[in-house]
Amino acid sequence: MNCTNIENKLVDYIDGSLSIEEANAIQNHIENCASCKTALEEINSLFTAISNEPIAQPTSNLNVSFQEMLANEKKSQAKVIRLEPTRKSTYKNMLQIAASIAILFTGYLIGGYQESQNTQQEITVFQNEQKQLKENMMLAMIDNSSPSKRIKAVNYTEEFTTPDTKILEALIDRMQNDSNSNVRLSAAEALSKFTDSELVRTSLIETLTTEKNPSIQIEVIQILVDIQEKRALDPMKKILEQPEAPDYLKTQVNIGIAQLI
């Protein structure tokens, strides 16, 4: 494999989803290629930073001119940073965007730009762009062919306190339609954080009428009971009428019904 092929597979290599043969080939290449080794280190660092670091909060004494620096940066670069990648964007594109934003913001802090009356507004803009970047990364990952990556994307929603409708819809789609039961279960658990949304509540009830995996059914029942969603009573009673439903599931259903009545 050449360097281009190696770089396109680095995220899969980090995730451990490649075949043994491919992983060994990449490992051998990296040991002898300084450029690809550096690319691997950068991806590792950026992915870790994006996932774990809180949104930057400059002190009240630091005033920066965000829009002015952004305009200067655009003039000095031939390529424009695009902050709205599609769901088909690759991890590499996401990381490149993240790197550009990180470098840009670091430049503001080091540069010591003059005070601006719109500082707080500019900081809010930057924070919103960080949030949008994380959402776009989640959407890019959630349709991946690898179940482990889809679970990572679902778990990535822990970063969000008020996700957009498109994020909720993506989670609902994984909960209701994913071919892997572990992904569906992870999506249901993630949605339990957002039950203030009527869309989420309705989708949980719908899932209870279609899901056949007892573990997922129990998880959804517990979520609906916790939020005292009485519309769940009818689908729960229908589960009791299903002869194929295991006894332990029916026991949980009866407990849930008693808590809702």
The pLDDT of residue 80 = 43
Residue 258 CA to residue 256 CA, distance in Å, equals 5
Model-wide pTM > 0.85: no
Taking each helix axis from N to C end, the angle separating 147-155 and 165-177, rounded to the nearest 10 degrees, works out to 140
66 or 206, which is more confident? 206
Answer for the pair 94, 46: CB distance below 8 angstroms, yes or no: no
207 or 111, which is more confident? 207
What 3-state DSSP class applies to 261?
A: coil
The pLDDT of residue 109 = 52
The pLDDT of residue 31 = 85
* Type of residue at 140: A
How would residue 8 be classed by pLDDT, with cut points 50, 70 and 90?
Answer: confident
The pLDDT of residue 163 = 82
The pLDDT of residue 158 = 76
Q: What percent of the chain clears pLDDT 70, i.e. is strictly above it?
A: 66
Answer for the pair 253, 208: CB distance below 8 angstroms, yes or no: no
How confident is the model over 223-251, as a mean pLDDT? 94
Q: What percent of the chain clears pLDDT 90, i.e. is strictly above it?
A: 36
Q: Residue 95 corresponds to which tokens in the numbers above?
A: 């990381």
How would residue 95 be classed by pLDDT, with cut points 50, 70 and 90?
Answer: low
